[in-house]
Amino acid sequence: MRLARRSMGVACGLGLALIIASVDTEPASARRASGAARFRVTAVDDGGSLEDVWLNHVFEVRFTARVSRKSLTNGSIAVRRSGVGGEHRPVRLERRGNTVRVISVLPTHRRVSDLPNADFFPPGSPESDAYANGTLRRGEYYQLVIAGKSESPAVESTTGARMRRSQVIGFRTTAGPVFPWEQPAAVPPLTVLFTNPLDADVSAARLYAHTAGTPSVPIDIDVTLFTNGIPLRPETLRSSGAIELTLVEEHGVPVTARYVGGDVVVEQDRNRTTIVFRPAEPLPPNATFALRIGSRVTDLTGIIGVRNHLRRERLRLIYNWLSQARSGNPGLPPSSLPNPPSNLIPDWPDDQDQRGVLKRNLLELGDLRPWQIDWQVHTIFTTGPENLPGPTLPDNDVGKPSRKRARITNLYTPLGVQGNAGAGRNVVLPFTLVDERGRPALVEMQYGIDRNADGEIAEDEFRQLSADRRDARHTGRYAGKARKKIRGTVFKYDAAPGLGSVNAFVWPAVFDLGAGVHLLTSQRIYTAEGRPIPDPNNPGFELLDPINRGVVVRMRVIRGRPRDGDWVYTAPFALDNGNPPALAIGDTVPGAATLIEWTAYDEDSEDRNGNGVLDLLLLEDTNGNGWLEPAPLGVAFDYHVVGVGEDLDDLTLPELSQLEWLPCTNAAGLGDPDDGVPSAPFPVGRQHTFAWDTSGDLPGFSGQVLLRARPIDESRRIGPWEYRREPITLGD
């Protein structure tokens, strides 16, 4: 970006000194005798005074000879406020032959130390002023000072020559929205690329039945958003309604939205822009949150806003279309409404019955959980229990800055459960790569798990990672021939000076670990039927199993042995590539022991046709061990006694969940077990019978009850509650 090529001329109203290189009065014969021309500046940008300079401007100062790097300090070439005793502002200097680029530091919030995971200065402190941490402020006067030989330090050539006089060039920053691009139409949209906790949205593949969001996120976290690097205007982040974290569900039940107090900071330079929302206090446990970016957040020009979440934007358009169709056909069931336009539903199946399910589920989703289809919501996540431990960050020694060696300064630990049953099939691993010369670097990646169950991940338990280069979030480039010379998974990534360049490695963990892997750092302990167990030492809390496993990823910069960089590690994080189970409640036969038919579904079951026999021709032996693994499920049944005059016809699922529910006791010796019966994938399933000891739970009762049930699989994955909306009558 070179602003000076589009303007400027000298503005008399600036009142700034413009001192061009002094006239050389030394005779030509004397110069020839010295054997060299005098060291001087030939041009600064276009050689004129500048006005309306934007805050990320780069000045280019051209000299008659190559400049010594050692002389380039913030004292030899500096930017200072105009006036007597004007303070020097931070800049970064970059030499390119005879040219020195004076790079402005963007407005940014600062951390209390240089450690990548250090906390930011609190709001209200002098260090929290983003503009004070940058080089320039809007609408103010500055001077670019190039120090001559009378100053110390001064700019020197590689031969030690100095300019005879200092030069001062005045300029003024823009007070209004000036684009730093020649064609505003070519400005890339300000886009959130990925987040931590990772965003996950609903999909047609899961029938819009599973709500989105990363589960089991620790309550004491910061939410980080990684953008495409368009510089932001810091004051817009902290304005009312700009970035909001909202509590939208508690224990899986939608509630009236409540805003979470906190602060927003931006960490940015010319190569990266990262937004961090910092809650004022730990988040409530077992609650779902949505982070929304409003239209007030803009780039440095104050014009460009944040691009909508594209997938949720499409969901919203489908929902709006179906809502209009529903209002025009009030008596028509949602599943029978006309299909939305084909350009909105390219991922919908052709089967009309399945489309009917999608239409019904999406309307219910938008009615009850509008944040799931809000195009300004950029991440949704659910916290775990209050006693769920947060990630213990490793002590990564990233080393001191070096102009010769690239280094990884931060490797972010994914928050919450990753994988198929968590944040999504692919695991996104953001990291920061710094190189003071801005050269790309080769990076090697490995993952480690506790393979021998000794409680530690040893050196020989690390393996190479696969990569999903088709995922748009993956920023690495295949290393080509370089990879053949180096063992391991190696990709080339962009690096940058200063704060560095944010990259992401996308890991399809199912390729390396298999579809059923279940590696958690800790989890709830349930009974075989899927009921949580209270913690006897902490009343009010559920019992947790600190299984101390999980997955660790490490990365390092490859420079060629033995000069490779040090490994940088994530904290252990949870990974679950399985699928949660589900069930359907069928017919009931009331009596002293009420018989309840139910069907068990699990996508992890190998029994594809539900016949209980291993059929090799149907490729049912997915893991190749020669045994049929039907993914046995436990089940927990509850009942609700319908009160006199209680109207249950129009209750929504959240309202049903708020009713008083009591556990159903299994009648001994009748029906199927409730602690492990085989399942099959949807829609085949395996049918079973639960025998409810009605006479024991409700002796002498005569009236109506509602039923609900929830499954649990071998890995303690819990499925959603399934409700039987039609009451059953017990007694006479």
Q: What is the pLDDT of residues 147-180, one digit of tens each?
A: 988 888 899 999 889 998 888 888 888 876 655 5
Say if CB 369 and CB 211 are below 8 A apart.
yes
Band of the pLDDT at 637, cuts 50, 70, 90?
very high
Q: Is the pLDDT of residue 600 over 90?
A: yes
pLDDT at 269: 85
Greatest mean pLDDT among 80-94, 285-299, 713-727 lies in 285-299
Collapsing DSSP to helix, strand or coil, 74 comes out as coil
Residue with more model confidence, 498 or 141: 141
The reply to whether 410 and 443 lie within a common domain is yes
Please state, for a pLDDT cut of 90, what percent of the chain lies above it: 40
The reply to whether 419 and 360 lie within a common domain is no
Cis? peptide before 683, omega within 30° of 0: yes
- The structure tokens 């710094």 sit at 434
pLDDT at 226: 94
pLDDT at 480: 61
The reply to whether 350 and 268 lie within a common domain is yes
Give CA–CA dist 715/578, Å, rounded: 9
Please state, for a pLDDT cut of 70, what percent of the chain lies above it: 89
Q: Which of 108, 143, 173 is the last residue of a domain?
A: 173
The token duo for 171 is: 């300029």
The reply to whether 553 and 607 lie within a common domain is no
Band of the pLDDT at 438, cuts 50, 70, 90?
confident
Give CA–CA dist 337/322, Å, rounded: 7
When mean pLDDT is compared across 76-85, 369-378, 567-576, the lowest value belongs to: 76-85
pLDDT at 519: 86
Q: Does residue 287 form part of some domain? A: yes
pLDDT at 84: 67
Give CA–CA dist 164/39, Å, rounded: 8
pLDDT at 649: 76
Q: Does residue 389 form part of some domain? A: no
pLDDT at 588: 94
Q: Measure CA 414 to chain center.
A: 8
pLDDT at 126: 85
The reply to whether 226 and 372 lie within a common domain is yes
The reply to whether 101 and 206 lie within a common domain is no
Measured CA distances, 158 to 72, 99, 275, 451 (Å): 11, 13, 41, 57
- Closest C-alpha to 585, from 594, 598, 574, 576: 598
State the CATH number of the domain containing residue 224: 2.60.40.1220
Band of the pLDDT at 488, cuts 50, 70, 90?
low
Q: Would you put residue 685 in left (φ > 0), alpha (ψ -120 to 50) or beta?
A: left
pLDDT at 212: 73
Q: Which of 384, 411, 439 is the last residue of a domain?
A: 384
Q: Which residues contact 123 (CB under 8 A, 6 or more apart)?
A: 238, 263
pLDDT at 487: 53
Helix orientation angle between 352-368 and 310-328, rounded to the nearest 10 degrees = 100
Structural domain count, the chain: 4
pLDDT one-digit tens code per residue, 585-594:
999 999 999 9
Q: What totals of helices (H) and strands (E) does the chain contain, helices first? A: 9, 38
Greatest CA separation for the chain: 124
Band of the pLDDT at 536, cuts 50, 70, 90?
confident
What is the rounded average pLDDT of the residues 710-730? 89
pLDDT at 390: 74
Q: Does residue 394 form part of some domain? A: no
Band of the pLDDT at 482, cuts 50, 70, 90?
low
Q: Does residue 275 form part of some domain? A: yes
Q: Does residue 480 form part of some domain? A: yes
pLDDT one-digit tens code per residue, 383-413:
988 877 777 777 776 655 566 688 898 899 9
The reply to whether 219 and 342 lie within a common domain is yes
pLDDT at 353: 84
Q: Does residue 649 form part of some domain? A: yes
The reply to whether 17 and 150 lie within a common domain is yes
Q: Does residue 370 form part of some domain? A: yes
pLDDT one-digit tens code per residue, 36-59:
458 899 888 754 557 778 888 888
Stated as kind and residue range, the H or E segment containing 556 is strand 552-558
The reply to whether 109 and 251 lie within a common domain is no
pLDDT one-digit tens code per residue, 100-109:
999 888 899 9
Say if CB 340 and CB 322 are below 8 A apart.
yes
Cα-Cα end-to-end distance for the chain = 85
The reply to whether 263 and 207 lie within a common domain is yes
Query: What one-letter code names the amino acid at 455?
Result: G
- Closest C-alpha to 150, from 136, 130, 167: 167
**Rounded (to 5) percent helix, strand, coil in the chain:** 15, 35, 50
pLDDT at 553: 95
pLDDT at 377: 95
Band of the pLDDT at 1, cuts 50, 70, 90?
very low
Q: Does residue 421 form part of some domain? A: yes
pLDDT at 9: 31
pLDDT at 70: 87
pLDDT one-digit tens code per residue, 228-280:
888 888 989 988 889 999 999 988 888 889 999 999 999 998 888 999 999 99
Measured CA distances, 252 to 292, 511, 658, 659, 690 (Å): 20, 31, 11, 14, 26
What is the rounded average pLDDT of the residues 463-489? 76
The reply to whether 210 and 296 lie within a common domain is yes
Residue with more model confidence, 608 or 302: 608
- Closest C-alpha to 197, from 62, 383, 61, 323: 383
Greatest mean pLDDT among 62-76, 205-219, 529-543 lies in 62-76
Q: Which of 148, 173, 198 is the last residue of a domain?
A: 173
Band of the pLDDT at 35, cuts 50, 70, 90?
very low
Residue-range definition of the domain harbouring residue 485: 401-578
CA-based angle 206:211:213, to the nearest 5?
Answer: 115
pLDDT at 548: 61
